[in-house]
Chains A and B, each alone.
Chain A
Amino acid sequence: MTATERTALALVWILAAASALFLMAPLVVTVAVSFGSSAVFTLPPPSWSTRWYERLWTSRDLWPAVWTSLRVAVLATALALVLGTLCAIAVVRGRFPGREALVTFLISPLMLPGLVVGIAMLQGFRAAGLRDVGLSLLIAHGVITLPYVVRTVVAALSLFDFTLIDAARTLGLSYPAAVLRVLVPGLAPAFLTSGLFAFLASMDNYPISIFFTDAWTKTLPIQMLQLVEERPDPTVAAVSTLLILLAVAVLILGDRLVGLRRLAEV
């Protein structure tokens, strides 16, 4: 290796390390601020405390938003898993024209600006006479969670060996039992990872939720942004830290199920 190459390589590693620190910086700052005693975000904090978590615990604004977000995320993920899996089976096993176009259509909500998708749905729902905030939120979140499920389950199903079902049938299982005992365990990692990431996407969504909330029903990101604008103290940092923990938990599960490297295949 020549001196030029060594220098170039060293530069690559330094830049990569800097990028990694840069990427992690907001998370580290958030966690540090949430455990600081100061209300004015001095870093490093003068002393450590859990007072923002105590304040969060008694907060009257955040908990309703947390419950709204959890409820919407769970229901939207369940909806997406059912509809997405059925659709993935049709795409992988069916013989009909336009399957690729169908997948592109189902994934497209992730490729278009969230704000535009949100506005379109807002106007569409209004035209259809849909007034219920909770239902509107759920339907809108279904649209943005479905792509995660379709993408992952289609990929997993195309790799699944369907002779395994034949084998189970000749070994004494009825067709439904064979699907349950062979196909479902085979797809379990895909269900779980896509479900987890769909859940995260719903929990964190801002640009679509903003159009479907009112004074009484707010999702967590909406409420957080409002708090930041109204009363900037580290309580929001405490909630953020909990959300970071949630992401860490999802990644640990995902790593166990399919490995971090597979997760990187966005």
Chain B
Amino acid sequence: MSAPAAPLTGRVPARRSLSVRPDPVALLALPAFAYLAAAYGWPLLVLLGRSLSGPQGISLTPLAQFLSDPFSWRVIGNTVRTALLVTLVCLLAGYPAAVALARARGAVQGLLLLSVILPLSVGVVVKAYAWQIVLRRDGVVSGLLVGLGIWDAPQRLLFTETGLVIGAANVFLPFMILPIYAVIRQIDPRLAEAAATLGASPLRRFLGVTLPLTLPGIVSGIAFVFSLAVSMYVVPSLVIGDRFQTLATLTGRAFLFMRDEQLGSTTAVLLLAVAVAVVVGSTALARRLGGGGQS
């Protein structure tokens, strides 16, 4: 007959370990972390400190000095204006390209993808050099526009702001296309169909369904392109030259030719501030818009 077994309580005393031992696996991260902290993190902090310190400790004098110069404001204006224009061109050209990339199948998609990724894998010096050739008075663009009857006579685009925007948009366009493509690819095509069965017109469907859903991708794309365009250095150097200064080219010149490190540090930190603001702001915005955005 089944007699009851001894009660089973209290057999397993739960003992709390007193010391929290660090996970030994974490040590594998140490070399990379130490390397990056020493070679990059610490110098970045020093740069930040230097731009915010005058002869008497912490001060905003260098920054105030820089901002009181009208030339500085012209440089800032140049920087922001070209970056905005480049971003706009990239958005207008990139959105349809991303839509087409997501809709395309097979070899067409492969070709489109290649036309985005191959230029992305080629260095900026090569592309800027090519634009220097293309934008000459006797270059391809001028010839094309004259041939189409848009221009009466050959003109030089090289060393103009228009030329700079065209060249920069070309270099940064993939950074607009890919984030938008990534988001469109994940959209359920049935949503647009559902909207159609509900009687929405094509335009309404686009504005009411597709566009809001792709917004996180658009935000990431704009953030990528804008922060890249604000700090571009090689493209302006080759395509527009020294007469047109942006924050980035001024920073480079301050260090490489003028040997004015105070000025260079100040402009560098301004660039850094813009980049951090754009990255943080766009990440937060993309997350609020429903994720899917990449950072």
Partners in one complex: yes
* Chain A residues within CB distance 8 Å of chain B: 2, 4-5, 8, 11-13, 15-27, 29-30, 33, 40-43, 83-84, 86-87, 89-91, 93-96, 102, 105-106, 109, 111-117, 119-125, 127, 139-140, 142-143, 146, 150, 197, 200, 203-207, 210-211, 221, 224-225, 228, 232, 236-237, 240, 243-244, 247-248, 250-251, 260-261, 263-266
Residues of B within 8 A of A83 (CB): 31-32, 35
Complex CA–CA separation, A2 to B122 (angstroms)? 41
Is B130 an interface residue when CB atoms closer than 8 A count as contact?
yes
B133 near A33: Cβ-Cβ < 8 Å: yes
Name the B residues within 8 Å of A122 (CB-CB): 255
Q: Which residues of B contact A41 (CB under 8 A)?
A: 133, 136, 138-139
B113:A260 contact, CB within 8 angstroms: yes
Main DSSP-derived SS at the B contact region: helix
- A-B pairs under 8 A by CB, number: 287
A113 touches B126 (CB 8 A): no
Contact B43 A89, beta carbon cutoff 8 Å: no
User: Assuming A12-B103, A112-B276, what are 14 further A-B pairs, CB within 8 angstroms?
Assistant: A4-B201, A8-B206, A15-B96, A29-B140, A87-B31, A87-B32, A95-B25, A111-B295, A116-B275, A123-B50, A127-B43, A211-B255, A237-B133, A247-B121
Name B91-107 residues within 8 Å CB distance of A. 93-94, 96-97, 99-101, 103
Q: Is the interface of A mostly helix, strand, loop or mixed?
A: helix
Q: How many residues of B contact A (CB 8 A)?
A: 96
- Which residue from chain B places its CB closest to the CB of A196 in the assembled complex? B121
- Sample (14) of A-B pairs whose CB atoms are under 8 Å apart: A13-B100, A20-B112, A23-B173, A26-B131, A40-B138, A90-B27, A94-B25, A111-B279, A115-B251, A127-B43, A206-B124, A221-B125, A237-B133, A247-B121
Asked if A86 and B32 make an inter-chain contact with CB atoms under 8 angstroms apart, the answer reads: yes
Residues of A within 8 A of B292 (CB): none
Question: Complex Cα distance A232/B182, Å?
Answer: 40
Does B23 contact A264, Cβ atoms closer than 8 Å? Answer: no
Q: Of residues B47, B121, B136, B201, which shows the largest number of chain A Cβ atoms within 10 Å of its Cβ?
A: B121
Closest 6 pairs between A and B when the two form their complex, measured CB to CB: A124-B43, A204-B123, A113-B231, A16-B100, A26-B130, A90-B29
Which residue of chain B lies nearest to A244 when distances are taken between CB atoms in the complex?
B122
Contact indicator A84/B275 (Cβ below 8 Å):
no
Enumerate chain A residues within 8 angstroms of B31, measured Cβ to Cβ.
83, 86-87
- Distance of A60 from chain B, by nearest CB (Å): 20
Q: Which of B3-11, B149-157, B265-273 contacts A (4 or more CB under 8 A)?
A: B265-273
CA gap between A4 and B200 in the complex, in Å: 13
Closest to B238 in A: A228
Cross-chain contact A29 with B233 (CB below 8 angstroms): no
B294, CB-defined interface residue at 8 Å: yes
Of A26, A205, A263, the most chain B CB neighbours within 10 A belong to A26
A239 smallest CB distance to B (angstroms): 8
User: Chain B, 110-138, contact with A by CB distance < 8 Å: what is the 0/1 string?
Assistant: 11111111111111111101111110101
The smallest C-beta distance from A96 to any residue of chain B, in angstroms, reads 4
